[in-house]
Structure 1
Amino acid sequence: MRVLDSHLHLWDPELLHYTWLDGPLAWLFGATEIEHARIPRATTERAVFVQAETVEDDFLDEVRWVASLAQRVGVVGIVAGARLDRGTDTTAHLEGLAGEPLVVGVRHNLQGEPDGLAVSAAFVTGAREVAARGWSFDACARASQLPEIARLAAAVPELRMVLDHLGKPTVGTADVPVAPTMEWVRDLDDLARHPNVWCKLSGLPAEAGGDWSPEQLAPFLDAAADAFGVERLMWGSDWPVSVIGPAEADDPYANDDGSPMYQPTARSRWAETVIAWAERRGHDVDAILWRNAEEFYRIGARPTPADAREERPRRGLLGWLRGERT
């Protein structure tokens, strides 16, 4: 079974600057860490790296760092950080990204932006510049913002867009599940009417705080399939954001106070959950796990750079799990 993870993060707080990392996420997540989170059933595993919300000044440095690890990690495409509302500064940044061969798209993270930004004149102009370069746009937005994403899709129909994390609906937890709301289903359907928009089956474990079950999340996968059709769905792990939560059973490193921690098998559990769901529904598993992401990001036979420098020794997550937390 081949797997092309459409939504993988990597970060290094000693090399780049982030303002949002805390708790078990505030550690190095690089080549060594993802190697310990591989999907056992995958005979071939590749990934699209999605910007990890460094500070804006580090957007290009982040691309270059990930490119240096690409061959070792299996990254075959990079969705770079970009602000699309900066006018000439946006143009200059996109021109800088054009010199990086692994860049296949950009993401201006919209989930915390004020209403109306994504359909402002400046943003739409930036989005058109992205489309003109043949790149795609990752729309990371909350459920309440889906109508605005639909308006952006209508304003720039030539731009290939993918909705991250199904629009971050409220899902509850394994013990207290929440059914999909009528509003979210309606807005997802409205967005899917734009043929230039696709959807990632990603991020739902994080919306559950890491406390989830396959049965709880299946209705959300069904709604996405009903809206977009299997041909516009792609699996994404959202690693490591979606692997933080209550300790897994028999984890020898479980926190004594029960606080959230890294879940070593959560990435593979999410993959197996989507695979099992797709098989039960009679959906094309290879399309969801590989072909659709390959087509959307126009990866094909895109080579990875030969420069795959070893990471310099740092105190990464594996050390944290073993108690090196000072």
Structure 2
Amino acid sequence: MTRQLQVIDAHFHMWNLERQHLPWLDGMPSLDRSFPLHELENEYEQLGAEFLGGVYVEVDSDDPLLEDRLVYENNDPKILARMLRAQVGPYMRVPINATGIREPLHTDSAPRGRCMEPSFIAGLRAMADKGLPFELCNRGAELPDMAQAFSQVPSLTVIMDHLGNMPDLSPASRKAMQAMAALPHCYIKVSGDLPVDRDIVAFVRDTFPPDRILYASNWPVVTVHSSLREHWQLMLDIFGPDEDFFKHNAMRAYGIHADMLTVEG
């Protein structure tokens, strides 16, 4: 009997709309309901994969403190890491249960150039000193800004969401992504709101060290234009059953230890 491929999903969301309000869901009827974690677990079971757990990423709700509380109260062992929301700065407040921090840089409310502000850079340095990773979600057009900002803090662990939202393979985008890949602790997730572009995936795979590329679903947002099954099959087609890509690299990036995993059988 062939052993199931074990997977750690490096990027999932969940929310409870009976208690939370996510303004960005307006006009997105397919996501305008609650999404509990057990639904994702069931989907992986249907795919024939052994879902070991994954990384919860903040959901840009209108009440981050409530979100912190709900995540804290959720003791599901499949939640292996928690990337929660905070405003980056040298004296930033960090949720006690956070594995790391995401300040959304991809939303309309995030001003262009936020990543270059002195307080933001000082906050990144403070995070690096504490060994706290930063979850980077940026607008694709601002990849050069990201490269310039994060190159100032090379000791920081930074994990890029959704292939850096790389918009194209233009010389400027390539140069910025190469600069990010040159950082010694920069990881990148192969996930996205849209079906991923194979050419961009190939470029990222050739640019980043293989131990710093992570599998991620972006569930349930992946279902808006695709499906988890479609994304999963595409990842298998591109990477094969690579246990580093599907499991070990996420463990390294987020400090997930083997004794945290619930393994079947």
Q: Distance in 2 between matches of 1:276 and 1:198?
A: 21
Alignment of 1:157-176 (within 5 A): 157-170=154-167
The residue number in structure 1 matching 2:256 is 299
Q: Which of 61, 68, 73 does residue 66 from structure 2 map onto?
A: 61
Is 1:243 the counterpart of 2:232? The answer is no
Q: Please give the residue correspondences for 1:77-88 in structure 2 after superposition, counting only pairs within 5 Å.
A: 77-85=81-89, 88=91
Name the structure 2 match of 1:254: none
Match of 1:111 in 2: 106
Structure 2 contact 190–215 (Cα < 8 Å) conserved: yes
Q: Does 1:16 align with 2:20?
A: yes
Asked if the contact 2:144–2:172 (Cα under 8 Å) also holds between the matched residues in 1, the reply is: no
270, 287, 297: which one aligns with 2:231? 270
SS of structure 2 residue aligned to 1:155: coil
Which secondary structure does the structure 1 equivalent of 2:143 belong to?
helix
2:134 maps to 1:137: yes
Partners of 2:14 and 2:243 lie apart in 1 by 25
Separation in 1 of the partners of 2:55 and 2:24? 22
Distance 1:139 1:192 in 2: 14
Letter in structure 2 aligned against 1:299: I
The answer to whether 1:195 aligns with 2:200 is no
How far did 1:167 drift? 1.8
- TM-score relative to the length of structure 1: 0.71
Correspondence 1:45 to 2:6: no
Question: Any gaps of 5 or more consecutive residues in structure 2?
Answer: none
Partners in 2 of 1:180 and 1:125 — Cα distance?
A: 31
The residue type equivalent to 2:106 in the other structure is Q
TM-score, normalization by structure 2: 0.86
In the alignment, what sits opposite 2:211?
A: 231
- 2 CA distance for matches of 1:268 and 1:226? 25
Counterparts of 1:50 and 1:66, CA distance in 2: 10
- Ranges in structure 1 where 5+ consecutive residues have no aligned partner: 171-178, 246-262, 305-326
- For the residue of structure 2 that corresponds to 1:38, the secondary structure is helix
Verify: 1:5 aligned to 2:12, yes or no.
no
Give 1:289's aligned amino acid: F
Amino acid at match of 1:33: E
Distance in 2, matches of 1:141 and 1:155, equals: 17
1:184 paired with 2:164, answer no
- Asked if structure 1 preserves the Cα contact closer than 8 Å seen for 2:99 and 2:132, the reply is yes
For residues 243 and 123 of structure 1, the distance between their equivalents in structure 2, rounded to whole angstroms, comes to 33
Give distance in 1, aligned partners of 2:139 and 2:55: 22
Q: Could you report, residue by residue, the CA deviation over 1:6-44 in whole angstroms, capped at 9, with x for unpaired residues? A: 000111222123221132212101134324422522124
Q: Contact between 1:12 and 1:27, CA under 8 Å: does it hold in 2?
A: yes
Q: Secondary structure at the match of 2:256?
A: coil
Quote how far apart the aligned CAs of 1:66 are: 2.4
Q: Which residue identity does 1:145 align to in structure 2?
A: E
Distance change in 2, residues 1:41/1:180 (3 Å): farther
Counterparts of 1:201-212 in structure 2 under 5 Å?
Answer: 201-203=190-192, 206-207=193-194, 212=195
Letter in 1 for 2:39: E
Q: RMSD of aligned C-alpha atoms?
A: 2.2
Match of 1:132, SS?
A: helix
Letter in 2 for 1:38: Y
Q: Relative to 1, partners in 2 of residues 1:162 and 1:14: Cα closer, same or farther, differing over 3 Å?
A: same
SS at match of 1:152: helix
Q: Judging changes above 3 Å, is the alpha-carbon distance between structure 1 residues 302 and 12 closer, same or farther for their aligned structure 2 residues?
A: farther
- Alpha-carbon deviation of 1:152? 2.2
User: Which one-letter code corresponds to 1:133 in the other structure?
Assistant: K
Matching of residues 28-43 of structure 1 within 5 Å: 28-39=34-45, 40-43=47-50
TM-aligned CA distance change 1:189 to 1:235, over 3 Å:
same
Say which one has the larger Rg: 1
Identity of counterpart residues, as a percentage? Answer: 25
Q: Secondary structure at the match of 1:46?
A: strand
Q: Is the 8 Å Cα contact of residues 198 and 232 (structure 1) preserved in structure 2?
A: yes
